[in-house]
């Protein structure tokens, strides 16, 4: 039998997932990536050149091909500036610990 705390935790997860989905849709519209995670090119992120919107510490990013092969990647311990070019031929882009990214040259 589920407890009230189980129901509250499930409701909080649904609300957080909905907020995350709404943020991703706003990001696509604005040409930004504000959350760590994986994004399919052309669906979750559009091709283009992206730079971080703040200081990066312990950041890892990668672009992948449709077979899962790494096309480009970097682990950045600390930096004030970096640049990622996401091509229309890339399948996905992932980043962890990088903070947000903003598209430049739109």
| Domain count for the chain | 1
Q: Which residues of the chain register pLDDT less than 50?
A: 16-19
Biggest alpha carbon–alpha carbon distance for the chain: 55
Per DSSP, the three-state class of 1 is coil
User: For the chain, first and last CA: distance in Å?
Assistant: 53
Q: How far apart are CA 56 and CA 96, in angstroms?
A: 10
Nearest one of 48, 39, 44, 43 to 96, comparing CA atoms: 39
User: What pTM, to 2 d.p., does this model score?
Assistant: 0.70
Residue 76's domain spans which residues?
4-104
pLDDT by residue (tens digit) across 39-68?
Answer: 999 988 899 999 988 778 899 999 999 999
């Amino acid at each position: 039998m589920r407890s009230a705390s189980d129901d509250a935790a499930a409701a909080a997860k649904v609300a957080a997932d909905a907020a995350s989905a709404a943020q991703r849709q706003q990001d696509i519209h604005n040409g930004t990536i504000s959350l760590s995670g994986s994004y399919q090119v052309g669906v979750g992120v559009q091709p283009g050149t992206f730079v971080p919107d703040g200081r990066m510490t312990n950041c890892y990013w990668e672009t992948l091909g449709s077979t899962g092969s790494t096309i480009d990647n970097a682990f950045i311990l600390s930096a004030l500036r970096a640049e990622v070019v996401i091509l229309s031929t890339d399948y996905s882009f992932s980043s962890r610990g990088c903070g947000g990214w903003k598209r430049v040259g739109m």
